[in-house]
Amino acid sequence: MANLNTIHPQSISNSNSNSLLPTVKLCSLDEAISYQNEEVIYRFINTYDISFGEANDIFVETKKWLWLCAQPDIEELSMTEAFFAIDEMWHTFIVFTPEYTDYCLKYFDQYIHHLPTTQREKDEIRRLQEEDPVLAMEKHNQEMLQQYAVIYDKLGAETLLKWFVEYPTRYSEELLNQRRKAKSFNSKPTPELEALAAYLQAGKKVVLKKN
């Protein structure tokens, strides 16, 4: 049985409501993809041992996902474990808060929020799985079929296959985490800090002087 706990509704800003459709100015898909930010890509490859080209490809797919989230006729989208690489790139992009905000407002006329699964949602999924696993699976499959149709209609068969066949094989959570680089900074305290800690732990008074 699929792990339904990995499914969570994604961020579609409140300005996406149908009552505000005339005020939302959306760009084309090509315009959304045309945005470039090498710093986002470099940060990603500093985290994962993949090539610049691979990371850039994931960034392109992430921009497609954001464009899809911004569509006013789509009420809700879900991310599953298949989206792990795109989700990680989304996290990386959001770290560059000013650039991410500018991108959303320029291309989508709204901020695309990233909403995690709440504990209440997880509990509800778990409750449904325990009470009626068959119904839970049917509900999950129906939701995914609807999402497949949306992705196919908006982005085409190539993107649908890339997101749900190619990426889960190449960039599963397990495989991508195996390529996660070790932290480069030294977390060990300096000798001076260790000496200061020893004095403080011994109850000695320490006077710090400025040079």
Amino acid at 70: A
> What is the model's pLDDT at position 12?
39
Q: Where are the domains of the chain?
A: 4-186
Count the Cβ atoms, other than its own, within 10 Å of residue 13.
17
Buried b (16+ CB within 10 A) or exposed e, 111-133: ebebeeeeeeebeebeebbeeee
> What is the model's pLDDT at position 61?
98
> What is the model's pLDDT at position 184?
63
C-alpha Rg value of the chain to the nearest Å: 22
SS3 content of the chain, % helix, strand, coil (to 5): 65, 5, 30
- pLDDT over 50 (residue 4): no
Residue 179 half-sphere exposure toward CB, CA atoms < 13 A: 16
- pLDDT one-digit tens code per residue, 139-193: 889 999 999 999 999 999 999 999 999 999 999 999 999 999 987 666 678 888 8
Under a CB-based contact definition with an 8 Å cutoff, are residues 70 and 108 in contact?
yes
> What is the model's pLDDT at position 156?
98
- pLDDT one-digit tens code per residue, 108-135: 999 999 988 889 988 998 998 999 999 9
pLDDT class of 210 with cuts at 50, 70, 90: low
Angle between helices 84-95 and 97-108 (to 10 degrees): 110
- pLDDT one-digit tens code per residue, 67-116: 999 999 987 888 888 999 999 999 999 999 999 999 999 999 999 999 88
- pLDDT over 60 (residue 45): yes
